[in-house]
A and B are shown apart, each in its own frame.
Chain A
Amino acid sequence: MIQRLLPFLTLIALFVGLSIASPHFLTSTNLSSVVRQTAVINIMALGMTLIIIGGGIDLSVGSILAMGGLIGSMAMEKGVPIVPAIFIGICTGLVCGFLNGLMTTRLRINPFIVTLGTLGIYRGVALMISNGLPVHSLPPAFSYLGEGTIYGIPFVWFLLVVCAVAVHILLEHTKHGRFVFAIGSNPDAALYAGISTSFHTVTVYTIGGALTGLAGMIEASRLMTGQPTAGQGYELQAIAAVVIGGGSLRGGEGTVIGTLVGAFIMGLLANGSDLLGISPYLQQAIIGAVIILAVAVDELRKRRLG
């Protein structure tokens, strides 16, 4: 039980430790910025949680994020109002995710390979349609998505909570969620039970893509540019958040709460290192070590349970 709570305890320990170590940590400015920084990874990681529980993986989310942000921004540049443009960004991600799912199920290619391929393809397409140039002329009001506040609380915080609750309900309270767990836990048994495994697998990638498209719009809003090069390396952070939070790359395991905790642990580590003046180079190594440690502890727990 202690080990199951380890991610929570780590998060609390980090929070308390940083509050003591740095006077700048426990300020509303700093905490808002942590929330904003982690929201993008967090929302992507929610989609990744679904995919990983279903026994899959999506390495292309960084490229999908760029596609979503770019196409949404280009729509705004062409005069589409902000809300429909955000919707276009989300739909772009949705289509990318759908294609990933379709290829893994129809062509029966390992999702690792499919999404390694689409990681290149989506990035290449984003660079091509933008000629490699960022989209700058965005309406000023668009910045509200990533930077706005309600009663002093960042707007993205509410977005994250809504997405997290929705994904949690999907996973724990719907037929689809239950089937995703079954497929990830044992695809053959799910098939033998008469479940359409390919339909549910495609759905999971599609939802993951849509969430990543939303994350792409938030990223674009924070930078006030649609960048074809956005989101590089984010896939590893999203996967790391799921894994630190107790998700298993063998499928069938993972929780929304765990993923959120995982993403915040990484966010706090990055923020704390900045505040304490730790070299950004070392930060990467620290986060890498935390990933290995988290999985090692989880494996030990499972081995003891047998």
Chain B
Amino acid sequence: MLLQLQQMEKRFGGVTALRSGTLTVQSGEVHLLMGENGAGKSTLMKIVAGMYQPDGGAFLWQGQPVRLTCPADASALGIAMVHQESLLAPHLTVAENIFLGKLPSRGPGFVDRRRIHAEAARLIEAHNFPLQAGWRVDRLSPAGKQLVEICRAIHRGSSLLIFDEPTSSLSEAETHEVFRIVRTLRERGTGVIYITHRLEELRSLGDRVTVLRDGETVHTAPLAECTTEAIIQHMVGRPVTAIYTRESLPIGEELLRVDHLSVAPLLKDISFSLRAGEIVGLAGLVGAGRTELCRALFGLDRITSGSVHVAGRPVSIRSPRQAVAAGLALIPEDRQRTGLTTALPISHNITLAHFDEVSRYGFLNRAAEQSVSQKFIQQLRIKCESPRQRAGRLSGGNQQKVAIAKWLVKQARVFLFDEPTRGIDVGAKVEVFETMDALARAGAAILMVSSELPELLQVPDRILVMRQGTLTGELPGRASQEAIMRLAAFDKEPAA
């Protein structure tokens, strides 16, 4: 047995990313690792690659317990990882990046440039990659960077290679080359762990599959014995505990209509509509383009083609200012970075998007500011010492409520909530849902992007699903987790 991981645990602060990760890999095996967003796949693999230190569990390498404290330890064992997000030095060349950390030297401290270049060229040649050893990495496309990562990993990983969804940005020819590489590695006796959502493509390639769910290994079996349907069930098969139930409201006029919207390079031909009183979920895996859709609607990215109507009127939104004027509101995914000015008081944040409410001729009316802030602090039950407290000092849930309050002052009509419950506790989640429901009752239309399937089944009236930049389907609000996952992750309707 090459690698044995038993009940690995990893916590980040108070959040448990990995509860019990168990995985075994043999030499000459291609092992698929599957699971939803946040199931703990990447965390587990980063432990194997020496990037994270586990908080518990056993890590055996060729039967011996080992302790990896840094990526260099892993590479000493012959473990290498192809990362999903590029971990390359952008200003160095392809060749330098491939050899980074293991630069061939010529005497102490001197780099043997010629050898690096020649060896990198040979490696690229062997795989027919469209790369040149001397190119600077920052000039490469995402796919090109991915290929450099692959070259680097192949060069280093003599015993175990980890691929973290390497083909999502690659062309078909490049994807086939990656698969060919994986086959060669298997023949050579190297162990391969392959994280993927594209099961159909990898059926012919994989030997065994392990499924993670909510930080736990829930299933391991030879791939030939697993139907796609069974794997989906393992991925999402948690009992849905209802933390919130919501009645559908009578639906009113159409407030947002999107027709054939495309945004280069990711989003293609997206059409949907939102009506007053409606909460519509938007499901999809990371990278499916959900955040990009919100950004485009809010004028942060330029729309390539297609049209948008707000309340029946065609709009051309080119900046957030125009989006706000049109009656749109965006509660972004990353509160700290884009949703709040954390260093400023709560009251400043609440009144930011609609300052005219608390000012006259550009001059601030402090009393009005106080009363407006107080009103929303009470209405949304924001727990704080005073409106003058810095927004950054609040808990995640209360920060989110401040970010929402900003748009209540503005009385926007179309709300785009991007992962509204990320990083907040259960109580605050319910309060966020209640706020969304109240907005819908007041006649707003809401798009709710979420990666939490149970949430998507409890809150929205209907659910749109995206995959790789397109809408792949629409489901009723009481659909199953399996149905969502099927549309979000798999290319074809799997045979039942």
Contacts and interface: CB of A to CB of B under 8 A. Distances in A.
B307 interface: no
A306 to B, nearest CB: 8
B324 A194 contact: yes
B330 A185 contact: no
Given A192-B332, A194-B324, A194-B353, A173 B363 contact: yes
Interface string B256-282: 000000000000000000000000000
Interface in A184-208: 185-186, 188-196
Contact of B352 (A176, A182, A196, A253): A182
Main SS class of interface, A:
helix
Interface string A157-178: 0000000000000001111111
A178 B323 contact: no
A175 to B, nearest CB: 5
B104 to A, nearest CB: 37
B340 interface: yes
Given A175-B362, A185-B343, A195 B338 contact: no
A252 B353 CA distance: 17
A66 to B, nearest CB: 33
Nearest to B337: A188
A195 B410 CA distance: 13
A181 interface: yes
Contacts of A178: 348, 351-352, 355, 364
Given A175-B359, A182-B344, A252-B344, A193 B364 contact: no
B38 interface: no
B344 A193 contact: no
A196 B321 contact: yes
B22 to A, nearest CB: 38
Nearest to B319: A196
B338 A188 contact: yes
B339 A189 contact: yes
Measured as residues with beta carbon below 8 angstroms from the partner, the interface class of chain A is: 20 to 34
A181 B348 CA distance: 9
Given A174-B364, A194-B320, A189 B338 contact: yes
A190 B352 contact: yes
B73 to A, nearest CB: 33
A177 B321 CA distance: 18
Given A174-B363, A175-B355, A176-B362, A192 B339 contact: yes
A188 B295 CA distance: 12
Nearest to A169: B363
B341 A194 contact: no
A253 B343 contact: yes
A174 B359 CA distance: 8
Contact of B364 (A175, A182, A189): A175
Contacts of B362: 174-176
A185 B363 CA distance: 21
Interface of B: 298, 300, 319-321, 323-325, 330, 332, 337-344, 348, 351-353, 355-356, 359, 362-364, 366, 406
Q: Which 5 A/B pairs are nearest by Cβ-Cβ distance?
A: A194-B324, A185-B341, A193-B353, A186-B341, A188-B338
